[in-house]
């Protein structure tokens, strides 16, 4: 879910000896969980840390961008400069963008598996593969630690408002221990079961359904716009009748208002999530034709230069494909044809991310974690 961490800072001392200095004004700790670490301070991770500070927990915060940790320090958190400083934490939350980032933080030199004390709980809030969740559970168990997968449904605005939906999977005693912490992050905690991989799978499935809804709404809004119907009127009709779900209202509103920036989750991260879901579907021999199509549509959005936008930019892609002029591209900071930032020519190679002669460099996507 947050900022990609490329490396772990070196440490000179044994991890159990490293500590973080807390401001004297910080609130008294909770009875059973005194200190919570948060690794990854993007929009989601920052909201987690801020809400737990308000709840009275002692917080240690770490991000590759030290300015983010320092901003939380001003609110009363301890700002860590290396992961070894999480050694005294009872619980550590990780909010990271993908498997690779979490593997580095957990399995890397002086990573969480090396430095956490026996009995500590690593809670992954990230959207990761079920296979990685299971590997983490085994690795932590070998060190006498616990692991809980607790991905969430919701966006950064809901995170700030403590209105997320949390899906927790792991050993029953570990899930029970961290439930008071998770309760401060969302409006409901769903206990999926003993297998943390299943919690990760439920999260991936939820993102498949969200992405499919975004694609459908984008196509429908494009159809109605081209048919001369006010998209706001159409949105009111649908969300005021049979299509009044949170996804329809929240993301449908972004499509109608062309509000794709700042992103809650960028299109490249959505590509990753659908890729993980499709990989699980292949393992389990479950055909997912709609998910496959939507995955390719997200790839097309990135190829068009929409990689830094919210994944609801599937609506923008539908509008452009329908020939709807600028379709809100100006507000998104893109060229008149939506191809300027992608470095594309007029050779009809837009979806391939190629230049005029098919040799242009694809623009690297800004994968800022929401």
Q: Which residues are catalytic?
A: 203
CA atoms within 13 A of residue 243's CA, in its CB half-sphere: 18
> 179, 189 in Cβ contact below 8 A?
yes
Residues whose CB falls within 8 Å of the CB of residue 17, separated by 6 or more in sequence, listed in order: 87
For 345, the 3-state DSSP assignment is coil
> 5, 83 in Cβ contact below 8 A?
no
Residue whose token pair is 């947050």: 2
């Amino acid at each position: 879910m947050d900022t990609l961490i490329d490396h772990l800072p070196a440490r000179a001392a044994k991890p159990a000896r490293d500590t973080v200095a807390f401001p004297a004004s910080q609130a008294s700790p909770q009875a059973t969980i005194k200190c919570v670490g948060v690794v990854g301070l993007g929009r989601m991770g920052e909201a987690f840390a801020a809400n737990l500070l308000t709840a009275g927990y002692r917080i240690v915060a770490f991000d590759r961008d030290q300015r983010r940790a320092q901003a939380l320090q001003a609110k009363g958190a301890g700002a860590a400069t290396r992961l070894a400083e999480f050694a005294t934490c009872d619980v550590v939350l990780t909010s990271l963008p993908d498997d690779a980032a979490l593997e580095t933080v957990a399995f890397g030199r002086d990573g969480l598996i090396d430095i956490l004390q026996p009995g500590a709980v690593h809670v992954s809030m990230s959207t990761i593969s079920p296979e990685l969740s299971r590997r983490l559970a085994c690795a932590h168990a070998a060190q006498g630690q616990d692991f809980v997968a607790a991905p969430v449904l919701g966006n950064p605005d809901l995170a700030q408002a403590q209105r997320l939906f949390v899906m927790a999977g792991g050993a029953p005693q570990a899930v029970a221990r961290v439930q008071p912490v998770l309760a401060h992050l969302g409006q409901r905690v769903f206990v999926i079961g003993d297998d943390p991989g299943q919690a990760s799978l439920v999260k991936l499935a939820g993102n498949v359904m969200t992405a499919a809804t975004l694609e459908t709404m984008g196509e429908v809004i494009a159809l109605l716009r081209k048919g001369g119907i006010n998209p706001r009127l159409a949105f009111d009709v649908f969300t005021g009748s049979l299509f009044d779900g949170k996804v329809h209202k929240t993301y449908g509103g972004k499509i109608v208002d062309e509000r794709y920036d700042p992103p809650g989750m960028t299109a490249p991260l959505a590509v990753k999530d659908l890729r993980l879901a499709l990989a699980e579907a292949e393992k389990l021999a479950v055909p997912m034709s709609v998910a496959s199509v939507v995955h390719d549509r997200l790839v097309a959005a990135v190829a068009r230069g929409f990689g830094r936008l919210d994944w609801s930019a599937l609506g923008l892609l539908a509008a452009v494909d329908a020939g709807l002029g600028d379709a809100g591209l100006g507000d998104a900071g893109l060229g008149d044809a939506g191809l300027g930032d992608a470095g594309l020519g007029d050779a009809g190679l837009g979806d391939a991310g190629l230049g005029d002669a098919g040799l242009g460099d694809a623009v690297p996507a800004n994968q800022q974690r929401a």
